[in-house]
Amino acid sequence: MWTARRTGDIVLIKTLLYTGVRVAELVKIGLGDVNLDTCRIRITHGKGDKDRYVPFPTPFKETLALHIDAMRGKNATFLFESNWKKPYSTRGVRAMLARYATKAGLDHHMPPHRLRHFLFTWLKTHGIDDAHIQPYSGHASRTSLEIYSRVALADAQHTYDGVINQYPV
């Protein structure tokens, strides 16, 4: 996937992976919504018409800055915009991910929401508390994050199987 000729595609995929934004939110991110100083992106009118900020990792800042500069050079308004000066469509993003999944030899499609689930499950399995994930996820409450705990239990089974034979019973 990282051999893509379109660096904008790589930036888009990494933005999905690092922030966990919904695809409908991703396509509405304006250039002015990205704060490179604080490493946060403002999501306006997200699900439930809620606004929030999502973080991105500091090492991604330079890549994102280069992308923003390139988009400003094209007089773009949105972070991800077509050659026709329109924001990408959610359908277009899904099709892009499907193309890369096929190129990578995956035998299943890669919907954008799976990347969101991957991030939040990964954060949970690495000990990040729901109280820290909830504001970034856009979920109305922490109880909504239980799905990521349930998914993480599948990973826990492998760990459990590896140590249960040492249990002193």
Catalytic residue chosen out of the listed positions 113, 132, 150, 160: 113
Domain ranges of the chain: 7-166
In this structure, what token pair is assigned to residue 138? Answer: 């856009």
Active site residue 116: yes
Please give the CATH architecture assigned to the domain spanning 7-166.
Orthogonal Bundle (1.10)
Instruction: Report the share of the chain in percent with pLDDT over 70.
Output: 70
Contacts for 58 with CB less than 8 Å, ≥ 6 apart = 39
Active site residue 28: no
More confident residue, 103 or 47: 103
Q: What is the pLDDT of residue 143?
A: 56
Active site residue 117: no
Report pLDDT digits (tens) over 72-115. 999 999 999 988 889 999 999 999 999 888 888 887 777 888 88
